[in-house]
C-alpha cells in the first residue's frame, strides 16, 4: 500500500470516527468506540514491544491495572485534578515498566513471557492484599474528567485525542532509524548487536514507553468503566491485547489498530461469539499462527496478488551500438 | 509446623511433576509448552468427572486421567508444535501453545464450570489423619516415582536413549536413522500421561478447577528454571524448594504474596546462576 491509497482509507475513517457521536443514535456505540480508543492507547505502545521488537509480553494487563488504580486513588480518593492524576499514572507505570524490564528483558523469549505473566498475577495479588488502598475485592469507583470531557461524547473525544497522540508517537518511532533497529532486534538480535544497535537499551526504552502508554490507557479505561474491581483486569484481557497485535500483523501500525477495532466490536455484534469469548480469541490466535503468521493483512495481499493479473512488461534488450563503437574507438586511440 | 512442611512438600511435588513433564517435552523438541500445566488440570478434572459424576471406581478414573492427558499431549504436538517447528521463527511455538492452552481452559470452563469442585477420596481414610493424609502423600509419592521411572527409562531402555540422543543433538540423531518425528510424538504422549497422572494424584490438594492450568504452567516453569532446564533432579529440587517456600511464606506472612515470592525466588536464582542450580551451561547463540 502506498501513501496515496493509505490516505484514501484513513481520511474517511478519521471523518467517520470524529463524527460518530453526531450520526450514531446509540449511546452504546459511542461507549464501544471510546473503549476501542482506550485499548488502542495501550496497544499502540505494546505494538512497539511485541510487533516491532519481538518481545512477547503477555502481562500488560498488570500495567493497565496499575494505571487505572493509580488514577482512581489519586483522582477519586485523594481528590487530585484529573489530568495530573493521568500524568502520574503514566509516570508510575513507566517506572513499573522499568523495574520489570530491567531484569526480565535480559531473559530469552519464553522466560520473558513467563516473567511478564507472573507480573500480571503479582499485580492482581497486590491489589487484593492492599484492601485499604485499592478496595480489595470490592473495588473502587473511578472519577470522571472535568468538563468538557464529562459527557460520554466529551470523553469519547478525549479518548480519540489520546489514541491519535499515541499513534503519532509510535509511528514516529517506527518509521525512523530507531524503529528499523527494533525490527532488527526482532529478526536477529545477534546481528542487530553486531551492526551497532544497542539491543538492551533499545528494548528497555521501548518497554518503558509501552508502560507509560499502558498507564495512560489504564487511567482512561478505568474512567470509562467508572468502577473497577480486580476482576476487571483478568489475565485473558492481556491475551486479548496480544491477539490483536498478532492478528493485525507484526511490524505494522494500521494492522493492530484494525485488529483491536474488529475484535472489540465483533463479540458485541455477533452474540454467540460473546458467549465463547476467550475461546474464540484463542482459536483465532491459533489459526493466524498456523496459517498466516504474518497477520491477517497478508491474506488480503495474497488475494490481491491473485486477482490482479500480472502484466508481463517486456523490456527489449538491445546493445547500444554507436556507444559501444565509440568506447572501442577511444580505447584504441589510447593504445 | 510439621503440617506446614508436609503440605509444602506435597504442593512442591506437584510443581516438580509439572516440571518433569516440561522436561520430557523439552528434551525432544526444545519447546517449553504453555499447555503443560493445563495437562495436569485436565487430569484432575477428568478424574473427578469419571469418579464423581459417572460413579466409576477410582482405577477407572486414574485410567481416564492418564488417557486424557496422553491424548492432549498428542494433540498439542499435532496442532501446536508439528507445523510450527517446521518454520524457523523461534517464537511461534510460544504463541501456538498459548492459543491452545487458552482454548482448553475456556472449553473446560464452559463445560465443567468455573467453580473449583471437590475431588473424591481415592482411598478410604478418615479426614482426621493429619499429616498422614493421602492428599499429601499421593503427590509426593508420585513425583518420586515419576523421577525414578524417568531416570530408569532414560538409562536402561532403547527409547530412553533415543530421547537422550535427540536432546543432545536432534540433527545428528536424525542422521543416524532415528525417526525424530516419531520420538517427538512419543515424548509428548508420555509427558501428557505423566502430567495427567500428576493432576489426578494432586486432585485432592488442588480441587478440580479449570484455572489451575495457568498457575501450574507458571509454577512448574519456575521450578524448572530454578532447578535447571533439562535436569530431572533439578526439577525435583526446584519444585520442592518452591513448594516449601510458598507454604512457609504463607505460614509466616499470610497467603497474599505467594506469586510474588515464587517470582522473587526465580529472579534471585536467575541473577546468581542463570542456568539454574543443576542445569547445563548455556551455549552462546552465535
* Residue found by looking up cell 481415592 in the block: B122
CA trace torsion B77, B79, B81, B86 (10° rounding): 120
DSSP A289: H
Q: Which residues 117-146 in chain B show a CB within 8 A of chain A?
A: none
> Distance between alpha carbon B68 and the CA centroid of its chain, in Å?
14
In total, how many domains does chain B have? 1
Tens of pLDDT, residue by residue over A222-251, are 999 889 998 888 888 888 888 888 888 888
For residue B283, being part of any structural domain is answered with no
Which of residues A236 and B196 earns the better pLDDT score? B196
Give contacts of A121 with chain B, Cβ < 8 Å: 215, 218, 259
CATH of the domain at B205: 1.10.3470
Give contacts of A119 with chain B, Cβ < 8 Å: 263
For residue B286, being part of any structural domain is answered with no
Q: Which of B55, B97, B53, B52 is nearest to B192 (CA)?
A: B97
B100 vs A: CB within 8 A = yes
Q: Which pLDDT does position B101 carry in this prediction?
A: 92
| pLDDT of residue A23 exceeding 80 | no
| Chain B nearest C-alpha distance from A252 (Å) | 18
Is the CB of B259 less than 8 angstroms away from the CB of A121? yes
Average pLDDT over residues A21-47: 87
Could you give the angle at which helices B2-29 and B36-48 cross, rounded to 10 degrees? 120
**What is the secondary structure of chain B as a DSSP string?**
-HHHHHHHHHHHHHHHHHHHHHHHHHHHH----TTHHHHHHHHHHHHHIIIIIS---HHHHHHHHHHHHHHHHHHIIIIIIHHHHHSS-TTHHHHHHHHHHHHHHHHHHHHH-SS-BPPPPSS---TT-GGG-HHHHHHHHHHHHHHHHHHHHHHHSHHHHHHHHHHH-HHHHHHTT--HHHHHHHHHHHHHHHHHHHHHHTHHHH-B-TTHHHHHHHHHHHHHHHH-TT-HHHHHHHHHHHHHHHHHHHHHH-GGGHHHHHHHHHHHHHHH-TT-SSPPPPPP--
ipTM value for the complex: 0.85
| pLDDT of residue B285 exceeding 70 | no
Q: Which pLDDT does position A94 carry in this prediction?
A: 95
The minimal CB distance from A122 to the residues B92, B103, B263 is found for B263
| pLDDT of residue B2 exceeding 70 | yes
B229 vs A: CB within 8 A = no
Is the CB of B102 less than 8 angstroms away from the CB of A279? yes
> Cα dist. B240→A17, B18, B262 in Å?
55, 12, 12
| pLDDT of residue B236 exceeding 70 | yes
Whole-angstrom distance, CA of residue B278 vs CA of residue B268: 15
Whole-angstrom distance, CA of residue A321 vs CA of residue A280: 66
Whole-angstrom distance, CA of residue A110 vs CA of residue A117: 11
- Spell out the SS3 assignment of B128-169: CCHHHCHHHHHHHHHHHHHHHHHHHHHHHCHHHHHHHHHHHC
Tens of pLDDT, residue by residue over B9-47, are 999 999 999 999 999 999 888 888 999 999 999 999 999
- A129 phi and psi, to 5 degrees? -75, -40
| pLDDT of residue A274 exceeding 80 | no
For residue B278, being part of any structural domain is answered with no
The minimal CB distance from B94 to the residues A56, A122, A190 is found for A56
Q: Taking CA atoms, what residue in A is nearest to B91?
A: A109
Mean pLDDT is highest, among A206-215, A292-301, A310-319, B56-65, for A206-215
Tens of pLDDT, residue by residue over A148-193, are 888 888 889 999 999 999 999 999 998 888 889 999 998 888 899 9
Is the CB of B96 less than 8 angstroms away from the CB of A117? no
Residue B146 lies in domain:
2-272
Is the CB of A278 less than 8 angstroms away from the CB of B106? yes
Q: Which pLDDT does position A40 carry in this prediction?
A: 93
Q: Which of A224, A259, A257, A262 is nearest to A244 (CA)?
A: A259
Percent pLDDT > 90 in chain A is: 33
Q: Which pLDDT does position B283 carry in this prediction?
A: 59
Q: Residue A248 is placed in which grid cell?
A: 493485525
Whole-angstrom distance, CA of residue A186 vs CA of residue B163: 31
Which of residues A17 and A113 earns the better pLDDT score? A113
Bridge partners, B117 (sequence order): B208
- Spell out the SS3 assignment of B182-199: HHHHHHHHHHHHHHHHHH
Q: Which residues 29-58 in chain B show a CB within 8 A of chain A?
A: 32
Are B143 and B17 in contact by the 8 Å Cβ rule? The answer is yes
Q: Which pLDDT does position B89 carry in this prediction?
A: 65
The minimal CB distance from B94 to the residues A113, A119, A235 is found for A113
Q: Which pLDDT does position B19 carry in this prediction?
A: 94
Which of residues A67 and A129 earns the better pLDDT score? A67
Tens of pLDDT, residue by residue over B106-135, are 899 888 888 888 888 887 777 777 777 888
| pLDDT of residue B286 exceeding 60 | no
Whole-angstrom distance, CA of residue B183 vs CA of residue B172: 14
Task: State chain A's maximal CA–CA distance in angstroms.
Answer: 97
CA trace torsion B211, B217, B222, B228 (10° rounding): 160
**pLDDT class of B88 with cuts at 50, 70, 90:** low
Question: Could you check whether the bond before residue A148 is cis, i.e. omega within 30 degrees of 0?
Answer: yes
Q: Residue B255 is placed in which grid cell?
A: 497467603
Is the CB of A125 less than 8 angstroms away from the CB of B83? no
Are A178 and A202 in contact by the 8 Å Cβ rule? The answer is yes
For residue B280, being part of any structural domain is answered with no
Q: Which of A155, A169, A49, A66 is nearest to A119 (CA)?
A: A66
Exposure string of A229-248, with b = 16+ CB inside 10 Å and e = fewer, is bbebbbbbbbbbbbbbbbbb
A126 vs B: CB within 8 A = yes
Is the CB of A114 less than 8 angstroms away from the CB of B91? no
Bridge partners, A141 (sequence order): A227
Whole-angstrom distance, CA of residue A271 vs CA of residue B72: 30
Average pLDDT over residues A241-266: 86
Whole-angstrom distance, CA of residue A53 vs CA of residue B53: 49
Whole-angstrom distance, CA of residue B249 vs CA of residue A185: 39
> Distance between alpha carbon A110 and the CA centroid of its chain, in Å?
21
A131 vs B: CB within 8 A = no
Are A212 and A49 in contact by the 8 Å Cβ rule? The answer is no
| Chain B nearest C-alpha distance from A123 (Å) | 9
Using DSSP, state whether A57 is helix, strand or coil. coil
Which of residues A300 and B229 earns the better pLDDT score? B229
The minimal CB distance from A109 to the residues B90, B260, B267 is found for B90
Amino acid at each position: 500500500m502506498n501513501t496515496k491509497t493509505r490516505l484514501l482509507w484513513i481520511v474517511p475513517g478519521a471523518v467517520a470516527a470524529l463524527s460518530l457521536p453526531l450520526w450514531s443514535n446509540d449511546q452504546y456505540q459511542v461507549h464501544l468506540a471510546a473503549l476501542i480508543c482506550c485499548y488502542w492507547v495501550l496497544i499502540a505502545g505494546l505494538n512497539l514491544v511485541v510487533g516491532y521488537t519481538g518481545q512477547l509480553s503477555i502481562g500488560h494487563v498488570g500495567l493497565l491495572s496499575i494505571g487505572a488504580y493509580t488514577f482512581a486513588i489519586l483522582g477519586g480518593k485523594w481528590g487530585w485534578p484529573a489530568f495530573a492524576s493521568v500524568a502520574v499514572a503514566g509516570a508510575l507505570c513507566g517506572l513499573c515498566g522499568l523495574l520489570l524490564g530491567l531484569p526480565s528483558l535480559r531473559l530469552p523469549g519464553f522466560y520473558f513471557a513467563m516473567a511478564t505473566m507472573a507480573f500480571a498475577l503479582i499485580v492482581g495479588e497486590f491489589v487484593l492484599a492492599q484492601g485499604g488502598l485499592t478496595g480489595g475485592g470490592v473495588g473502587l469507583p473511578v472519577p470522571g474528567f472535568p468538563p468538557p470531557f464529562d459527557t460520554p461524547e466529551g470523553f469519547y473525544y478525549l479518548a480519540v485525542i489520546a489514541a491519535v497522540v499515541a499513534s503519532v508517537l509510535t509511528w514516529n518511532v517506527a518509521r525512523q532509524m530507531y524503529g528499523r533497529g527494533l525490527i532488527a532486534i526482532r529478526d536477529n538480535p545477534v546481528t542487530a548487536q553486531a551492526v551497532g544497535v544497542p539491543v538492551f537499551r533499545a528494548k528497555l526504552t521501548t518497554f518503558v514507553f509501552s508502560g507509560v502508554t499502558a498507564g495512560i490507557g489504564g487511567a482512561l479505561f478505568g474512567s470509562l468503566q467508572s468502577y473497577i474491581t480486580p476482576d476487571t483486569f483478568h489475565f485473558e484481557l492481556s491475551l486479548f491485547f496480544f491477539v490483536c497485535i498478532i492478528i493485525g500483523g507484526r511490524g505494522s501500525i494500521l494492522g493492530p489498530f484494525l485488529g483491536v477495532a474488529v475484535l472489540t466490536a465483533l463479540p458485541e455484534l455477533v452474540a454467540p461469539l460473546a458467549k465463547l469469548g476467550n475461546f474464540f480469541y484463542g482459536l483465532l490466535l491459533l489459526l493466524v499462527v498456523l496459517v498466516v503468521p504474518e497477520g491477517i493483512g497478508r491474506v488480503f495481499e495474497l488475494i490481491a496478488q491473485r486477482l490482479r493479473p500480472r502484466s508481463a512488461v517486456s523490456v527489449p534488450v538491445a546493445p547500444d551500438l554507436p556507444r559501444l563503437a565509440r568506447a572501442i574507438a577511444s580505447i584504441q586511440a589510447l593504445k | 509446623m510439621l503440617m506446614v512442611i508436609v503440605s509444602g512438600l506435597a504442593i512442591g511435588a506437584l510443581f516438580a511433576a509439572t516440571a518433569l513433564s516440561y522436561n520430557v517435552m523439552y528434551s525432544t523438541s526444545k519447546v517449553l509448552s504453555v499447555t503443560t500445566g493445563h495437562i495436569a488440570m485436565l487430569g484432575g478434572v477428568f478424574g473427578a468427572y469419571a469418579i464423581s459424576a459417572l460413579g466409576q471406581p477410582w482405577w477407572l478414573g486414574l485410567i481416564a486421567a492418564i488417557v486424557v492427558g496422553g491424548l492432549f499431549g498428542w494433540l498439542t504436538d499435532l496442532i501446536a508444535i508439528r507445523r510450527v517447528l517446521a518454520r524457523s521463527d523461534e517464537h511461534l511455538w510460544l504463541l501456538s501453545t498459548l492459543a491452545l492452552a487458552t482454548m482448553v481452559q475456556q472449553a473446560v470452563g464452559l463445560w465443567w464450570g468455573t467453580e473449583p469442585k471437590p475431588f473424591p477420596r481415592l482411598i478410604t481414610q478418615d479426614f482426621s489423619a493429619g499429616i498422614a493424609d493421602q492428599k499429601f502423600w499421593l503427590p509426593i509419592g508420585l513425583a518420586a516415582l515419576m523421577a525414578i521411572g524417568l531416570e530408569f527409562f532414560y538409562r536402561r531402555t532403547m527409547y530412553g536413549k533415543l530421547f537422550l540422543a535427540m536432546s543432545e543433538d536432534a540433527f545428528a540423531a536424525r542422521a543416524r536413522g532415528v525417526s525424530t518425528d516419531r520420538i517427538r510424538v512419543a515424548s509428548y504422549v508420555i509427558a501428557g500421561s505423566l502430567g495427567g497422572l500428576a493432576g489426578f494424584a494432586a486432585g485432592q490438594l488442588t480441587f478440580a478447577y479449570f484455572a489451575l492450568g495457568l498457575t501450574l504452567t507458571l509454577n512448574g516453569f519456575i521450578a524448572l528454571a530454578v532447578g535447571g532446564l533439562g535436569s530431572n533432579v533439578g526439577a525435583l529440587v526446584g519444585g520442592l524448594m518452591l513448594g516449601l517456600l510458598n507454604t512457609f511464606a504463607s505460614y509466616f506472612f499470610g497467603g497474599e504474596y505467594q506469586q510474588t515470592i515464587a517470582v522473587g525466588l526465580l529472579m534471585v536464582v536467575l541473577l546468581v546462576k542463570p542456568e539454574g542450580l543443576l542445569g547445563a551451561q548455556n551455549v552462546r547463540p552465535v
